[in-house]
Homo-oligomer: A and B are copies of this chain.
Amino acid sequence: MPQLRIALGQINPTVGALEDNSALIFATVKDAASRGAHLVVLPEMALTGYPIEDLAFRPSFVDASRETVSALARQLGHEGLGQVAVVTGFLDRADACVSRPGAPKGSPQNAVAVLYAGEVVARQAKHHLWNYGVGDEIRNFVPGDALTVIQVRGVDVAIAICEDIWQDGPSDAADAAEAGLLIVPNGSPYERNKDDDRFDLCSRRAREGACALAYVNLVGGQDELVFDGDSLVVDAQGALVARSPQFVPDLLVVDLELPAATAPMPDPDTSFDGLTVQRFVLDDQPVAAYEPTLTTLAEPLDDLAEVYAALVLGLRDYVRKNGFRSVLMGLSGGIDSTLVGAIACDALGAENVFGVSNPSEWSTEHSKTDAAELARRTGLTLETVPIAAMVDAFRKAVDVDGLAEENLQARIRAVVWMALSNQHGHLVLACGNKSELAVGYSTIYGDAVGGFAPLMDVPKTLVWQLAQWRNADAARRGRQPPIPENTISKPPSAELRPGQLDTDSLPAYELLDDILDDYVEQDRSAPELVEQGFDAETVERVVALVDRAEYKRRQYPPGPKISARNFGRDRRLPITSAWRERLVATPPAASHERMPPPGPTSST
């Protein structure tokens, strides 16, 4: 069987940075070529970054993507890299691909280009557009209906783009087209446990397609998404052959023995399952036999290591790709802001992390000493700005008490952070976790301010686990555990009135997170929750809190998605909604009586 050395470029492009991304692809191909690769595959939309959302509607951007990919092909030719076959994702439009009947002319497409001999020799647009969860591709793209098969060194190679292998069809088509290898460029964002699903899927599709499968994914952060890489190669029996490490750029070079192309060349175009097969012969001569190189078989990270890495990369890339250098956060000595401080130090270096302690008359002594201890252990810069005088000035101007007074303190702190941010150019981080965001346990324009929210998809119980994992990991590596033990062990409190504890207002977090998982992520009804064994009154209270906090979530900054359903693009609910889960499953017969109005929603 012919040999083929393939290289999977697990790269970290930036959305919209066409020239930068093109340079990154060029450097990747050059590196792969120096390692003897015959075929280099880059991820989905590698040239534009991903997802581009409504940038797809901007004709100037589509033009620039098409021109840049052609310029890249020419550049590769000029620099002596024309004989390496390169497959890269880019933004195309339908007039260049065969698109479905009725698709608007000139509509944008999520596509790949095959670069060879200084030219773009073939293209293929994604067949199955991703339109659930955080994906809106039917809004932005028209699908393709062509299956491109390129012959590289005597081996037929078929292409499927990301969602195409999550749906039935394309691997069967690859089988029917008798391809020896199916390459799959992806932009598949991280969520917990997805790496297991991903390998199982690739393995199954390889067996169905009766061909080896090479899966290459993006790496890096883009707004609320983190791409974890995890590129991999399986053989035609579905066995794992090679795997890239997660959350870092990588060039995975793999030698494969693949069946020789059998189709007559050039073969008349054929059609399977609605897909027209288009064959392009780049080079029909197999390479002379050579000694295979060693390959990488990275071990996937365990669950907590993976989540922590996602948070670090998500933060680092948001900061870097938006032109910031440093971050600032309020440090209360509590577990959330402390974990954010540790993540920020890991992401950006302690020299770029600025903490602000804003003690009030209700602040405990440990809130100050624990924040100072974090600073001592990590090396971040801690500044203390007491708020008593500012609180007094407001109390003289406006007459408030109760919740309004508690919120006042939180908002005065936020004004201090924003003033320091504006003065020094730091990006402010919001430190709230997913449990708080779910039930609205935060002060809008107070602790909720910030440009990025590292923990917005991390439930409180997972916050504690991550803090413990980070300390244990440091200990394993013989380093200083960054997080003060007292911060982990003390009961959580907002410290906005004397002796306040979170459990005054909320169920214990272990219980709360269980209910939230079932209600928010699984869409279980209130009667189902009660049937599962949760206390009815608690279910009713939690569900009402979640439903009423939608307006606060709308104004919250983005943060990295780590769960199957985050509070960003994954869950899109109306703010104005009178729907309330009822504990009794069957609604009463409709009557003329008016329902109570949707409850006095507090702006707090």
Contacts and interface: CB of A to CB of B under 8 A. Distances in A.
A264 interface: no
A67 B59 CA distance: 47
A428 interface: yes
B574 A53 contact: yes
A146 to B, nearest CB: 21
A422 interface: yes
Interface in A306-323: 317-318, 320-323
B595 A19 contact: yes
A423 B398 contact: yes
Contacts of A579: 15-18, 55, 58, 61
Contact of A558 (B324, B401, B554): B554
Nearest to A387: B397
A420 interface: yes
Nearest to A528: B60
A17 B598 contact: yes
A23 B597 CA distance: 14
B322 A587 contact: no
Nearest to A404: B422
A577 interface: yes
A453 to B, nearest CB: 11
B423 A15 contact: no
B423 A399 contact: yes
Interface string A520-545: 00010111100000000000000000
A515 to B, nearest CB: 15
Interface of A: 14-20, 22-23, 26-27, 49, 51-55, 57-61, 63-64, 67-68, 71-72, 74-75, 131-132, 136, 138-139, 221-223, 317-318, 320-324, 385-387, 389-390, 392-394, 396-401, 403-404, 407-408, 411-412, 414-416, 418-423, 425-428, 444-445, 449, 451, 523, 525-528, 551, 554-558, 571-582, 585-595, 597-604
Given A60-B585, A131-B138, A401-B423, 15 more contacts: A16-B574, A16-B580, A17-B598, A19-B587, A26-B590, A53-B574, A54-B573, A58-B523, A321-B576, A322-B599, A390-B394, A392-B393, A404-B422, A554-B557, A555-B557
4 closest A-B pairs (Cβ-Cβ)? A323-B599, A16-B579, A60-B525, A404-B422
